[in-house]
Chain A
Amino acid sequence: MFDSLTQKLSQAMKTLRGQSKLTEANLEAVLREVRMALLEADVHVSVARTFLQRVKEKALGAEVMQGLNPAQAFIDIVHRELVEIMGGQAPEHPITFASKPPTVVMMVGLQGAGKTTTCGKLAVFLKKLGRSPLLVPADVYRPAAIEQLHVVAREAGVPSFRTDVKDPVAICAAALAEAKLKGWDTVILDTAGRLHLDEGLMEELVRIKAATSPDEIFFVADAMTGQDAVRSATAFHEKLGITGVVLTKTDGDTRGGAAFSIKQATGQPLKFVGEGEKLEDFQRFHPDRMAQRILGMGDVLSLIEHAKDKIDEKEAEVMARRMAKNQFTLEDMRKQFQQVQKLGSMNKIIGMLPGLGQMKDQLASVATDKRIKHLEAIINSMTPAERANHNLLDGKRKRRIAAGCGRPVSEINQLIKQYVETKKMMGQMNDPKFMARMQRMAKMGGGPNLPF
């Protein structure tokens, strides 16, 4: 729906070509575009204002670095400032553990932010660190909230505290005592969602805090929150002194400007993001990625890391060597398909790429996971000899393969064509002249996310 900021900026910057300095006059139009982008991303009005002032000061008179055009130089400043304010580098240790266990982590936030699910995700995260978490249901108000936490705990494979006590403060205190007794080293308190305007319920949080002296108080916030994010985060922070923020539901297409607002309003670090339905869909917060997202620059870095995680490096190395020797076979292609599938659904990947967010729907129909599965199925139905030498594939063999994998012969022909083309391209890669040409092109391209 929205044009990406990079597109809009390149439009606004057309007049700047050839100018070597950013000046008050030529900045005005682009600052307006950035303001618009920030507001459309739900960054709070006053936060956006302060930020733009700061960017303007930095940008004014800044020499445009060699190799960058003014638009790129400007985006670079905006991006760096955004990253800086959102916390610079992600902190080494997102959670401060108590020197004497148990560590107490208290989760607070508005209704529907995703506290209970986040408790489960955090428990899984902690388990991977070798901790033994205990989940404590302190939401006695929402119907079935306690059952929900018990179920989440079971899914996470961690214990949850069971009691007949109905008072949230007493529940938390009792859970803490039990954790000490049984050796659970991290206690996660799932408090009830509440409006910051509700004095009574806010007081209850203060009493829970007093009774358990938490090491961390995480404010759980929905990434889709609008301008209200500042007000609610400030209110929780003033009352409780939060120590960190967890941003949920970032797997949608929200630009997540709330993250920036909350960080600015509270000064507390963003620690984690929840990004999916599964308990494993939980990651450390990366300021640089969020900055790109707010600016509408996609999330290239996340994709890269995602890919690194999943692709088996050894296998990739072997394949690279085979490619270099131009020994690429259908068997190698099959492995490639498997690697791509490991990366997760194509949709998730496409969504992470800058500029492709809008095209997701159209692409989804072409590049669906199913298609890759079909291609893999075709190769699976070949004999090892056929995989090693595609020239063996005559009409009779193709019909046999078609029957085996349930795909039409035309699709098999397509696959072979694609394979032959890929192989040809790889042959060129061995040609030193071709590689030199490619390298020159790569140098000229500048940043991968700046299409101008």
Chain B
Amino acid sequence: MGVGLLGGLFDKFKQGLKRTQDLVLAPMGRLLGLRRLDEDQMEELEDLLLQADLGVRAVDQLMARLRFELRGGSEIDPKAVLKDELLKQLRQRPARPFVASGTQVVLLVGVNGVGKTTTLGKLAAHLKARGEGVLVVAGDTFRAAAIDQLERWGERAGVPVIRNQMGGDPAAIAFDGATSAQAKGTPWVLIDTAGRLHTKDHLMKELDKIHRSLQKVIPDAPHRVLLVLDATTGQNGLQQAEVFARTAGVTDLVLTKLDGSAKGGVVVPILDRLKLPIAFVGVGEGVDDLIPFEAEAFVDGLLDA
């Protein structure tokens, strides 16, 4: 990837976060511009950090670090301190690039309405644009018209979509997809799944069945399991991530809807707890609006004036 492209992505990322900043950063910027903070200002800052959905624990940690730096009346750069602390947590696992080798099976999972199908469409378009073959599997056989939605994305991206009927067995269609891709030597198989709340045991078991049927074709499949998370999600995101990680073997996170006013701060405690990388973020509705995660840009989005 050239420098220009990276720079472009960075801009796009910032653009997505810009609206977020405009809304809340006036007070945040003022506080972070100070060199000493009194108790009232600390409290105000704490409230602002909580509003980013970072969660009580993570915010406590950040505030403790600030208090530590401020001890004995020292002058500090609160923004630099917070940034350092946040980056430490976000960079525990670097993202793994999507490199084709043999047939790579990618499974997308998550609760309802987070943007799995849209993310899959964008990812398919991205890989296709790199000149790599993609097969899309319509594994959401539950939500009304999910298959049609995915087929539109397939047309848009110019990639084939394999499907069976609504209400069909997602494990069976996943099996068919893996078999077909392997026979044809297609490097990427992207599998959509129905949205499911992590509290529904029977639906979580269905994911396990998809795993098993994929492994009948390709023993080390699925190679990537992307948990799609909506940036507007609050602290329940942590429970979601924990359960999906435990039962579906999540390898990467995707954070969607970052073009709204929500900041997706819940990924900080998630990454801290689960040590997973964020593969992509979604910053819009266009086909190009899925971009690699940049920890620094993300933190700047949370804190920049």
Please give the residue numbers on chain A whose beta carbons come within 8 Å of chain B beta carbons, in ascending order.
Answer: 1, 36, 39-42, 44-46, 49, 110-114, 116, 141-145, 147-152, 155, 195-197, 222, 224-229, 231-232, 249, 251-255, 257-258, 277, 347, 351, 360, 364
Contact = CB atoms under 8 A, between A and B. Distances in A.
Interface stretch (B83-91, B97-105, B146-154, B185-193): B146-154
B27 to A, nearest CB: 12
B236 interface: yes
B149 A152 contact: no
A147 B234 contact: no
Given A36-B56, A45-B50, A249-B112, 12 more contacts: A39-B55, A42-B234, A143-B152, A197-B261, A222-B233, A225-B233, A226-B53, A226-B235, A227-B51, A227-B53, A255-B236, A360-B199
Contact of A252 (B19, B199, B201, B266): B199
B257 interface: yes
Tell me the dominant secondary structure on chain B's binding face: loop
A397 to B, nearest CB: 35
B153 A227 contact: no
13 contacts: A112-B257, A143-B149, A144-B145, A145-B149, A155-B144, A195-B259, A222-B232, A225-B232, A226-B237, A227-B262, A228-B260, A228-B263, A253-B236
Contacts of B41: none
A257 B51 CA distance: 13
Contacts, number: 148
Contacts of A144: 145-146, 148-149, 151-152
Given A144-B149, A151-B144, A224 B260 contact: no
B225 interface: no
Contacts of A39: 50, 55-56
B143 interface: yes
A41 B142 CA distance: 30
Given A232-B260, A364-B201, A227 B50 contact: yes
Number of chain B interface residues as a range: 35 or more
Nearest to A227: B51
Contacts of B153: 143
Interface string B223-247: 0000000111111111110100000
B197 A251 contact: yes
Contacts of A148: 143-146, 148-149
A40 B56 contact: yes
A228 B53 contact: yes
B143 A231 contact: no
A418 to B, nearest CB: 25
A253 B261 CA distance: 24
Contacts of A41: 235
Contacts of B142: 277
A114 B113 contact: yes
A231 B199 contact: no
Contact of A46 (B47, B149, B151): B47
Contact of A112 (B113, B148, B240, B285): B113
A232 B230 CA distance: 14
A227 B236 contact: no
B52 interface: yes
A226 B145 contact: no
B78 interface: no
A362 to B, nearest CB: 12
Given A45-B47, A251-B199, A232 B261 contact: yes
Contacts of A45: 47, 50-51
Nearest to B246: A361
Contacts of A155: 144
Nearest to A155: B144
Contacts of A44: 51
B123 interface: no
B109 interface: no
B42 to A, nearest CB: 14
A14 B153 CA distance: 59
Given A111-B257, A226-B53, A227-B53, A253 B199 contact: yes
Nearest first, the 10 A-B pairs at minimum CB distance are A226-B234, A112-B113, A42-B234, A143-B152, A151-B144, A148-B145, A228-B262, A144-B149, A144-B148, A254-B236
A109 to B, nearest CB: 10
Contact of A226 (B19, B233, B259): B233
Contact of B234 (A116, A257, A347): A257
Given A197-B260, A228-B260, A252-B197, A112 B112 contact: yes
A224 B149 contact: no
